[in-house]
Amino acid sequence: MSIPHTMLASVLTGPKTIELREVEVPVPQPGQVLVLVTAVGVCGSDTHFYQTGAIGDIVVRGPIVLGHETGGQIVAVGHGVDPGRVGSRVAVEPQTPCRRCDYCKRGAYHLCRDVQFYGAWPVDGSFSEYAIVDDDFAHAIPDAMTDEQAALVEPVSVAVHAARRGGVALGSRVLVTGAGPIGVLCAQVARASGATEIIISDPVAHRREFALAHGADVALDPATADLDVYAEHFDVYIDASGNGPAILSALPTIRPGGTAVLVGMGGLQLEIPIAMIQHREITLTGTFRYVNTWPAAIELIVSGAIDATSLVTGRYGLEDVEEALLKSTTDPVSIKTMIIPPLTAAARG
């Protein structure tokens, strides 16, 4: 296919300011591929960057293209990449580690001190018509997988990594707080990993209903639920809310020897009951993105073990990225929004 010299990209130029710009199509360097972007999921981190210009110690210091949940097709390759990859449909793993440090060498490349993440300053993401991707992180997908499913491999990977960190196994009892996209996917991955009891908690009625239809056995309203009945009950607790009170109320439900996995991004500090953690020998851990999860996530989606497609409740072109970023706050029934760059064709006018 013919590759144009310019493309449309939605560029974050400052807090709460995104401009649709015509920019040069990037050229793949050695070890890289150029991907025609067909679908990009909107993540809560994208919205946070848009609203505040920062997440933790990552501060946006200039114009940047957000977006990191990406599906597309390889249209050009850099030096050293098999030309036969052109035309391959791929799901993008949006991180570039150094590949040389001890963390990378032992397979924990997500903990690399020099890792760069797409859509986080200073690396452009994929709210654009084309994107540059490392060849080995552009994972081939089967024909049976849709473009939107390819984009959803990233959030499914978050859930796969959380389940692995928690040690979810056959017969596990699992509690999840937060029934947004990640919480629901955590429930589904837990089920696929062998969990036999999955309870999810969320204050929003629509999300509770959605979770019940997509992996959860019970959905609780934290405003009225009595978690005392679940004291020392769960093998694994996964927080997908980032809400301090939710975390603290859930900790007593973990059985001795159980595990708590913090996935949601919330406050920078939280006081926790140290005596409980010690006396019950509870493992308390976090997750930092994911590592070696793409093959498993792709198989879970293709096999039907994970229903990721039903999460998508809205689709937008590049000219409507701002609306898509705020959809979760403006539409009470929104679950997951998707940017579809081909829908932006009219914007070229």
pLDDT tens track for 191-219: 999 999 999 999 999 999 999 999 999 99
- Whether residue 242 contacts residue 178, with contact meaning beta carbons closer than 8 Å, is answered with yes
Predicted confidence (pLDDT) at residue 329 exceeds the cutoff of 50: yes
Q: Which amino acid is at 343?
A: L
Question: Six-digit token pair at 240?
Answer: 């997908």
Helix (H) / strand (E) element for 19: namely strand 17-24
Categorize the per-residue pLDDT at 347 as very low, low, confident or very high, splitting at 50, 70 and 90.
very low
- In this predicted structure, the answer to whether residue 118 has a pLDDT above a threshold of 90 is yes
- On the question of pLDDT at 349 being above 60, the answer is no
For 36-55, the pLDDT digits (tens) are: 999 999 998 999 899 988 88
Q: Which residue has the higher pLDDT, 269 or 139?
A: 139
pTM score above 0.85: yes
Distance from C-alpha of 211 to C-alpha of 12, rounded to nearest angstrom: 32
Q: What percent of the chain has pLDDT over 70?
A: 98
Topology of 6-140+308-348 in CATH?
A: Quinone Oxidoreductase; Chain A, domain 1 (3.90.180)
The domain spans of the chain are 6-140+308-348, 157-286
Residue located via tokens 């009470």: 332
Model pLDDT for residues 252-270, shown as the tens digit of each residue: 999 999 999 999 988 788 9
pLDDT tens sequence across 30-39: 999 999 999 9
The CATH code that applies to domain 157-286 is 3.40.50.720
Rounded Cα distance, 170 and 190, in Å: 9
Confidence at residue 345, expressed as pLDDT on a 0 to 100 scale: 62
- Provide the mean pLDDT of the chain: 95
Say if residue 348's pLDDT is above 70.
no
Output the pLDDT for position 208: 97
